[in-house]
Amino acid sequence: MKASQMFRGVKPVLGGIAMRAQFRQEEAYEDALAHVIARRAGIPPIKLGFEDAREQPAEAPPPPLAIEEFRVTGEEEGVRGLERLFCPLGSRAFHQAQYERTRPMLFRGPRERFHHLVSWEALTDLIYNRNLSQSQLQVVQDSNYVPDHLYSYLGYRFGSRSHAPWHGTVNPQRFEAFVRNGASVILNSVHTIHEPARALISEIESSVATYAGVNLYASWRATPCFSTHWDDHDVYIIQVRGQKVWRLWGEVRRQPLGRDVEPNDVAPAHPVWTGTLDEGDVLYIPRGWWHSAHVAEENDGRGTIHLTLTPHYLKGTDLLRWLEARVASHEGLRRNVPLFANDESLRDFLLEFRKVVDAALVEAGEGALAHDLQRSWQALAPGQFLERIEPWRSEAWEELELSIRGWEQARVRVGPGEGVFGLRANGQEFELDARCRSLIESLLERGPIRVGEFLELAAASFERKFATDFAVELIKVGAAIATAKNGA
């Protein structure tokens, strides 16, 4: 028996939760230390650890996973938001099924279902004509990011055009050389630079009052973009162009978080499902499921485009942030925790803390949580520049569309005083005279409406000049927006 054999393992003690990168730093430290020790001993690098040296039996492949598959025959009338992706299931049925048992689902649809989102011509424009930064346009080769200076123009040449000084412009010759040799192209947050993707995200966000993002991936070779990995958010894979083979490897740590108390860095040994996504298909991959993707060998050289859509669903740990605001409203709980006072003081503090949290959780179950999410949500929809910066002075004023910003989740409430009501919309709360409530409700009920039509509806109770002035004031204070359908 040796003293060194008494030590079976070591890991850091966390005072809370840690980012995934912090767990990787611990592993990198162990690898670096092992390399130093090996160099001093004059032996090849070793993996440092207190692992059982006894030979372990080989892990048997798990049984194949039977993914629930649904067939989308067409776009049902009235279906919008996330339901476009997982119809024929409704939103409540889908999320209830996932809450009861988290698992992947596959929704196959008509080939042309997502063609409007990205064309090959649009991809070319996004890459070459937008002068994107490296954080938004990325090239990945064998799981490694290619530095942008390797596929950008090299500074200024005599007699050449000047490029934007903050980052280089893509050099097509170099860029396409990487792509032809197996690199994949990623456009992060493509909804911020491409209108069809922005419209999709805007519709999804407004339907569930949560934020979402979408990235674009384009590949031509059978070389995988990334190795097998998991994401700390749910992912909807939207196959827009071409085909791609996906492998699911299952879970190791159930419901892992990006900021967690345990690492989740060892992938399963065998995939549990392999399938091909065709144009029009959507694959739902829950958070924490290990996965990989590649172009099939028989399609090597044939391009594929897919979007990864990631709604930022509220997690249990996010609920603590909501509770924090409730706790912070109580003076007694804003004090320092009496850890170094007597035991009775600490017990009293924790008892008061528990009462506040219990009451807040009851309110959350009665709708306060959903209500607060709705009132704080801000729509992605941008403004619109018209010929007239004051649209009410435009000759086409009555043909413009008037809408409350974030109207999909906007709500009115009674109070806070007599003869007053509140409009909560787009992350703001406006206090208005109760006599104009019917005007606000007409805008919320109908959504975007022609200014002329709004004035006609208001004519039953208000003079035309008052209704016009009221619409103008809504725009001036930022509660509403006037837009032209064709942007004219």
Tell me the torsion sign for CA atoms 186, 192, 193, 194: positive
SS3 411: strand
Query: Looking at the domain assignment, is residue 16 inside a domain?
Result: yes
Query: Looking at the domain assignment, is residue 386 inside a domain?
Result: no
Cα–Cα distances in angstroms (integers) from residue 461 to residues 269, 389, 438, in the given order: 71, 30, 9
Token pair recorded at residue 367: 């709708």
Whether 132 and 22 share a structural domain: no
Whole-prediction pTM value?
0.84
Query: Residue 180: pLDDT above 90?
Result: yes
**What does the alpha-carbon distance between residue 479 and residue 436 come to, in Å, rounded to a whole number?**
14
Whether 176 and 209 share a structural domain: yes
CATH number of the domain where residue 214 is located: 2.60.120.650
Whether 37 and 82 share a structural domain: no
**What does the alpha-carbon distance between residue 175 and residue 150 come to, in Å, rounded to a whole number?**
8
Cβ atoms of 339 and 162 within 8 Å: the answer is no
Task: Read off the pLDDT band of 54 (50, 70, 90).
Answer: very low
Tell me the torsion sign for CA atoms 334, 335, 338, 339: positive
Query: Residue 291: pLDDT above 50?
Result: yes
pLDDT at 118: 97
Residues in the chain: 488
**What does the alpha-carbon distance between residue 126 and residue 321 come to, in Å, rounded to a whole number?**
37
Query: Residue 279: pLDDT above 70?
Result: yes
Query: Looking at the domain assignment, is residue 181 inside a domain?
Result: yes
Whether 111 and 205 share a structural domain: yes
More confident residue, 42 or 22: 42
More confident residue, 214 or 45: 214
Least confident of 29-38, 99-108, 381-390: 29-38
Task: Read off the pLDDT band of 188 (50, 70, 90).
Answer: very high
Query: Looking at the domain assignment, is residue 422 inside a domain?
Result: yes
Averaged confidence pLDDT in the chain: 86
Least confident of 59-68, 119-128, 168-177, 324-333: 59-68
Q: Which residue, chain included where needed, has tokens 């208005």?
A: 432
CATH number of the domain where residue 430 is located: 3.90.930.60
Least confident of 5-14, 203-212, 247-256, 355-364: 5-14
Cα–Cα distances in angstroms (integers) from residue 183 to residues 120, 222, 303, 325, 427, in the given order: 17, 10, 12, 46, 41
Q: Which domain holds residue 407?
A: 391-483
Query: Residue 48: pLDDT above 80?
Result: no
Token pair recorded at residue 305: 């485009």
Task: Read off the pLDDT band of 47 (50, 70, 90).
Answer: low
Q: What is the tens place of the pLDDT at every residue in 392-434?
A: 999 999 999 999 999 988 889 887 778 899 999 988 899 999 9
Alpha-carbon dihedral angle through residues 201, 202, 205, 211, given to the nearest 10 degrees:
70
How many structural domains does the chain have?
Answer: 4
pLDDT at 50: 42
Cα angle 413-418-419, degrees, rounded to a multiple of 5: 75
Token pair recorded at residue 307: 């979007």
Q: What is the tens place of the pLDDT at every residue in 224-241?
A: 999 999 999 999 999 999
Query: Looking at the domain assignment, is residue 371 inside a domain?
Result: no
**What does the alpha-carbon distance between residue 251 and residue 264 come to, in Å, rounded to a whole number?**
9
Query: Residue 384: pLDDT above 60?
Result: yes
**What does the alpha-carbon distance between residue 85 and residue 117 come to, in Å, rounded to a whole number?**
13
Token pair recorded at residue 219: 């590949």
Whether 111 and 206 share a structural domain: yes
Query: Residue 125: pLDDT above 90?
Result: yes
Whether 307 and 320 share a structural domain: no
pLDDT at 2: 73
More confident residue, 264 or 48: 264
Whether 273 and 140 share a structural domain: yes
Whether 222 and 300 share a structural domain: yes
**DSSP string over 386-401:** -SSSSGGGSTTGGGSE
Whether 464 and 344 share a structural domain: no
Whether 149 and 16 share a structural domain: no
pLDDT at 224: 92
Percent of the chain predicted with pLDDT > 90: 55
Cβ atoms of 34 and 71 within 8 Å: the answer is no
Query: Looking at the domain assignment, is residue 410 inside a domain?
Result: yes
Q: What is the tens place of the pLDDT at every residue in 104-114?
A: 999 999 999 99
Whether 299 and 322 share a structural domain: no
Query: Looking at the domain assignment, is residue 379 inside a domain?
Result: no
Query: Looking at the domain assignment, is residue 383 inside a domain?
Result: no
Whether 198 and 231 share a structural domain: yes
Least confident of 2-16, 153-167, 187-201, 441-455: 153-167
